[in-house]
């Protein structure tokens, strides 16, 4: 009877956790698809290469080998230990204990040992990351961009990962002690002595069986419920990149680095002004230029916003940020994501977007930030998962200049010269080579 009740509670908790996670992911998907359509189906071979090297291989992370190795331990632990979670889920549904042990034989011991070593490496890596953030205080982790929730979020995730790994090791250790005592179903599928938890068994060997069962079962429940809770926390956290890094790497921009996206409509306007005879009779002017709000950005830009790890490598490489300007590429991505969350909530409440008097431009990202960008592409080059803050900056700046005529006087003078003289300088085309004759 106790087993049946336990199974019902487990199935209910698992169904609720998976259902809530699926609902949140569906909302994020709708938010991303609220952006403009764009085609990223070209060059599939190059895209798969990006996926393998950037997402799976974490190629850019290895510019700093020590941090890359520690991050790889956490990443591998997250991916591989989920295989162990599958056994826990099946045990919870079927009311069994170590279901795979009987089928896998000695391979089972090898796998659990690998999981335990990874668990230990995850604990060490997360502890190092906590020290880097809170004691050493690496510069990019103490930036004002991360004030408040973002800084706490990173710490909560690291502490949660440590707790989950400790629960896993404690569960294994007490299970081994109960197995050695021949107690109940712990002895039904005997396993070999595990590497890490096997060394910890002396800590629990003096406890009575009832206490050991209580500890083992508590760790089992807290471990799996913690994973379900972590799974539902993930979509609200910067650690959503654990999932979105893969599609983001696949859909990375493959154009030459630094090449700007031109608007054919603008090019045509210039062409028709110079050669009116080529203008079609029904030519319609562009509806708008650039982006003022998240709906004007492409779905790929919005995927970028949700994929941002908030690691700050982009801002650390940005010359504007380094010299004290208002711009921080990391903040650009965080602001875009915050605005997208707000518009998504608006749409869910009203059925369609209802004007809330706010826009991404001005209300979230200021003119001062946009003008500070030198378009050097350093932020894009540094991002581990190919996020492009530069694309968003350029689109917002295009709207600022072309929709609002909002540009510094120096820019306006240059624009006027280009329009009238076909060059940035205030010389007519007929006088452009005059300087050469004056030097003779």
CA 22-126-29 angle, 5° bins: 20
Does 142 score more than 90 pLDDT?
Answer: no
Which of 64-68, 182-186, 248-252: highest mean pLDDT? 248-252
pLDDT tens-place string over residues 226-242: 989 988 998 999 889 88
Instruction: Read off the pLDDT band of 1 (50, 70, 90).
Output: low
Tell me the C-alpha distance between 175 and 88, whole Å.
Answer: 13
Q: Residue 188 has what pLDDT?
A: 67
Which of 56-60, 278-282, 405-409: highest mean pLDDT? 405-409
Q: Residue 347 has what pLDDT?
A: 95
Q: Residue 116 has what pLDDT?
A: 87
Q: Give, in order, the Cα–Cα distances in Å from 259 to each of 207, 256, 263, 305, 394.
A: 67, 6, 13, 20, 11
Instruction: Read off the pLDDT band of 32 (50, 70, 90).
Output: very high
Least confident of 18-27, 31-40, 74-83, 326-335: 74-83
Could you give the percent of the chain with pLDDT greater than 90?
A: 38
pLDDT tens-place string over residues 378-406: 999 999 888 999 999 999 999 998 888 88
Does 244 score more than 60 pLDDT?
Answer: yes
Q: Name which of 372, 294, 262, 295 is nearest 327 in CA terms.
A: 372
Residue 395, token pair as written in the block: 């689109």
Does 190 score more than 70 pLDDT?
Answer: no
pLDDT tens-place string over residues 315-339: 999 999 999 999 999 999 999 999 9
pLDDT tens-place string over residues 364-383: 999 999 999 999 999 999 99
Does 184 score more than 80 pLDDT?
Answer: no
Q: Residue 21 has what pLDDT?
A: 94
Average pLDDT over residues 67-78: 78
Does 55 score more than 80 pLDDT?
Answer: yes
Average pLDDT over residues 26-39: 94
> Which of the two residues, 24 and 190, has the higher pLDDT score?
24
Say what angle helices 209-233 and 65-94 make with each other, to 10 degrees: 120
Q: Residue 189 has what pLDDT?
A: 63
Does 428 score more than 70 pLDDT?
Answer: yes
Q: What pTM, to 2 d.p., does this model score?
A: 0.85
> Which of the two residues, 97 and 202, has the higher pLDDT score?
202
Least confident of 253-262, 373-382, 409-418, 425-434: 425-434
pLDDT tens-place string over residues 98-113: 778 777 777 887 888 8
């Amino acid at each position: 009877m106790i087993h049946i009740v336990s199974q019902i509670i487990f199935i209910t908790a698992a169904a609720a956790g998976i259902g809530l996670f699926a609902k949140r992911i569906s909302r994020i998907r709708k938010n991303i698809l609220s952006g403009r359509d764009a085609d990223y189906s070209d060059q599939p071979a190059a895209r798969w290469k990006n996926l393998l090297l950037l997402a799976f291989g974490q190629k850019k992370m290895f510019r700093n080998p020590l941090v890359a190795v520690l991050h790889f331990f956490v990443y591998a632990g997250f991916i591989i230990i989920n295989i162990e979670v599958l056994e826990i889920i099946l045990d919870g549904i079927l009311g069994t204990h170590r279901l795979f042990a009987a089928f896998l034989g000695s391979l089972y011991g090898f796998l659990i040992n690998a999981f335990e070593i990874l668990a230990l490496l995850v604990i060490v890596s997360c502890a190092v990351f906590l020290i880097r953030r809170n004691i050493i205080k690496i510069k990019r982790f103490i930036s004002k961009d991360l004030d408040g929730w973002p800084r706490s979020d990173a710490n909560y995730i690291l502490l949660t990962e440590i707790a989950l790994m400790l629960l896993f090791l404690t569960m294994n250790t007490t299970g081994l002690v109960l197995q050695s005592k021949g107690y109940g179903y712990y002895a039904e599928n005997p396993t070999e002595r595990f590497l890490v938890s096997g060394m910890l068994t002396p800590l629990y060997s003096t406890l009575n069986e009832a206490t050991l069962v209580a500890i083992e079962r508590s760790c089992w429940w807290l471990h799996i419920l913690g994973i379900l809770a972590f799974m539902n926390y993930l979509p609200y956290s910067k650690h959503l990149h654990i999932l979105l890094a893969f599609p983001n790497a696949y859909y990375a921009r493959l154009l030459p680095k630094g090449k700007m996206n031109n608007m054919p409509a603008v090019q045509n306007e210039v062409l028709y002004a110079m050669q009116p005879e080529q203008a079609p009779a029904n030519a319609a002017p562009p509806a708008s230029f650039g982006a003022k709000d998240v709906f004007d950005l492409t779905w790929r830009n919005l995927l970028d916003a949700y994929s941002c790890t908030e690691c700050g490598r982009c801002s650390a490489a940005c010359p504007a940020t380094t010299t004290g300007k208002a711009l921080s590429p990391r903040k650009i991505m965080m602001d875009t994501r915050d605005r997208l969350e707000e518009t998504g909530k608006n749409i869910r409440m009203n059925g369609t977007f209802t004007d809330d008097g706010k826009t991404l431009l001005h209300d979230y990202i200021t003119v001062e930030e946009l003008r500070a960008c030198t378009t050097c592409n350093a932020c894009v080059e540094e991002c581990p998962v190919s996020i492009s803050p530069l694309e968003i900056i350029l689109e917002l700046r295009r709207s600022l200049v072309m929709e609002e005529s909002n540009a510094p006087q120096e820019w306006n003078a240059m624009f006027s010269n280009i329009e009238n003289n076909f060059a940035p300088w205030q010389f007519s085309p007929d006088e452009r080579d005059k300087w050469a004759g004056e030097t003779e």
